[in-house]
Amino acid sequence: MGNSYHLTTPLSNDEVEKLKAGDIVYFTGVLYTARDAAHKRLVELLEKGEELPFPLEGAVIYFVGPTPPKPGEPIGSAGPTTSYRMDSYSPTLIKHGLKGMIGKGKRNQAVKDACVQHKAIYFGATGGAGALLGKRVKSSEIIAYPELGPEAIRKLEVENFPVTVINDTYGNDLYQQGRELYEIK
Amino acid sequence: MRYIPYDEVVKAVKNLIAYSASNLPPDAIDALKKAIEKEKSPVSREVLKQILENADIASSETRPLCQDTGLAVFFVKVGEDVKIEGGTLKGAINQGTEEAYRENYLRASTCEPFSRANLKDKIGYNLPAIIHFDLVEGDKIEIEYAAKGGGSENVSRATVLPPASGKEGIIQFVKEVVSNGGGNPCPPLTVGVGIGGTFEKSAISSKHALFRDIGSKNPDPELAELEAILLEELNKLGIGAMGMGGTQTVLAVHIEANPCHIASLPVSVNIQCHSSRHSHITI
């Protein structure tokens, strides 16, 4: 296993460059949530040169569609959703300053290339650990597109939110390399 | 003829769903604990620890294990000497599903296939349930329930092999399905394999195979042997927990086999993620 880091968002290039595939990171600070529909709108704003609903520089986006919160709680269960649906949008966001994405499952080559070229990281969170991950969310506020329901953009304050580095800024891919390490042919 | 009140069925279904949403069954917990002991990859062991810690939190705080609380899937054996009083059995199961998902803050995940519009206001909260009925002797109703998430359904596959492919062909197909899925279906997995029957019968059998307690022995020695071979072969793929590399990709392989046409060998593979939320009740 790699190293373990406690990082506070937003992320700097220095912080991003020290991370390697297989490292474990505990995030404290702000994560923004977005799924397909929200990504589409963010990319359209960037193409038109308009301002985004949150600062992209150093930001970390979490791909999640939580369960409804119980009364008095900030969020329900909140594990990662499958990331490939965001593949066509992520490179544009990375080019404009996004430093981290949290989800589950493989990304395409364009996303991996963008991570190397513009210094960004794709992190994996444990799918199906929605209760544990939801508990690490201290507050949640819808900051854009409330009409999208569970797909609205939320600003989450998190504490010690556990993720693993999958794709780093050096072109490493834990899904590929981890599997090669344990595959018996 | 035995009469069961409609409301009794609604209540039973609600209890099954509410309990399953935040309590991983003992067979799943045992299988995950055994996997931690056997797993060679430290990264995968860390993921497995998180999965078990998640199960503790979900159970003690009554939180959903996963935000994908699934489509509600039922296998129902209806005794021919039983009748529902005050409504239909299908109606009671759907009503129990809607109330359980809504009242326990579970996610409404059913949508129209093209517009992708959520159906919670049009048909009902997380409706319709997916129900497979079977008529049996007797005056009881047996209801098996599972919450089936999207990620693991997305990598499931069905095919019809030429009969000459035999067991080798089946093993090859199952390996392809699990290998292509990689980390997307949230391993460690339970792999349901439906063999024989017709095209749709094999698919339904592969689903029903997932309702068995994880790791329970198949009563048919030939199938038990094939399950053991498949388990060993699949764990050579190296996918590991959440695809991060490791030796424990699959917790168990469950096979259901049926007689089939002389010209065909249907095979279906239905994948279950590590959050194997299943339960049953007999009324």
Q: What is the pLDDT of residues B186-202, one digit of tens each?
A: 999 999 999 999 999 99
* Angle subtended by helix axes B26-38 and B42-61, to nearest 10: 160
Decide if pLDDT at B267 tops 80. Answer: yes
Query: What is the pLDDT averaged over residues B169-182?
Result: 97
CA distance B22 to A130: 10
pLDDT: is B98 or B108 the higher one?
B98
Decide if pLDDT at B236 tops 80. Answer: yes
Per the CB < 8 Å rule, is A182 touching B184?
no
- Burial (CB < 10 A; 0-12, 13-18, 19+), residue A80, is buried
pLDDT value for A92:
97
DSSP string, B231-280: HHHHTTS---GGGSS-S-SEEEEEEEEEEE-TT-EEEEEEEE-S---EEE
B-chain CB neighbours of A131 within 8 Å are 22, 54, 57-58, 61, 63-66
pLDDT value for B117:
81
| Phi, psi dihedrals of residue B281, rounded to the nearest 5° | -150, 145
CA distance A77 to A68: 8
Query: By CA distance, what is B184's nearest residue in A?
Result: A105
Chain A, residues 96-135, CB within 8 A of chain B, namely 104-106, 124, 126-135
**Catalytic annotation, pick one of A6, A39, A96, A118:** A39
Query: What is the pLDDT averaged over residues B8-12?
Result: 98
Query: What is the pLDDT averaged over residues B39-64?
Result: 96
B12, B16, B19, B24 alpha-carbon torsion, rounded to 10°:
160
Percentage of chain B beyond pLDDT 70 is 100
CA distance A60 to B133: 47
pLDDT value for A148:
78
CA distance B254 to B240: 19
Query: What is the pLDDT averaged over residues B74-91?
Result: 97
pLDDT value for B210:
97
Q: What is the pTM of this model?
A: 0.94
Decide if pLDDT at B22 tops 90. Answer: yes
| Phi, psi dihedrals of residue B57, rounded to the nearest 5° | -65, -45
Query: By CA distance, what is A135's nearest residue in B?
Result: B57
Q: Distance, in angstroms, between A33 CA and closest chain B CA?
A: 14
Q: Which of A70, A78, A175 sits opposite B183 (nearest CB)?
A: A175
CA distance B106 to A131: 12
Query: What is the pLDDT averaged over residues B244-259?
Result: 98
Prediction ipTM score: 0.90
CA distance A98 to A101: 8
pLDDT value for A1:
61
Decide if pLDDT at B13 tops 80. Answer: yes
Chain A, residues 14-33, CB within 8 A of chain B, namely 22, 24
Per the CB < 8 Å rule, is B54 touching A126?
yes
Q: Which of A77, A164, A175 sits opposite B63 (nearest CB)?
A: A77
Count of alpha carbons within 13 angstroms of residue A115, beta-carbon side:
27
Q: Which of B58, B182, B238 sits opposite A182 (nearest CB)?
A: B238
CA distance A7 to B152: 32
Map out the domains of chain A with their CATH numbers: 4-182 (3.20.130.10)
DSSP string, A97-143: T--EEEEBS---HHHHHHHHHHT-EEEE--TT-HHHHHHTEEEEEEE
Q: Which residue has the tokens 């129902």?
A: B76
Q: Which residues of chain A have pLDDT under 70?
A: 1
CA distance B56 to B245: 25
For chain B, the first-to-last Cα distance in angstroms comes to: 14
Q: Is A96 a catalytic residue?
A: no
A111: nearest Cα among A31, A100, A24, A163: A100
Residue B129's pLDDT band, with cuts at 50, 70 and 90, is very high
B146: nearest Cα among B247, B240, B61, B214: B214
pLDDT value for B212:
96
* Angle subtended by helix axes B89-103 and B6-22, to nearest 10: 40
Decide if pLDDT at B254 tops 90. Answer: yes
Q: Distance, in angstroms, between A176 CA and closest chain B CA?
A: 8
Per the CB < 8 Å rule, is A128 touching B64?
no
pLDDT value for A27:
97
Q: Distance, in angstroms, between B163 CA and closest chain A CA?
A: 27
Query: By CA distance, what is B22's nearest residue in A?
Result: A131
CA distance A161 to B13: 35
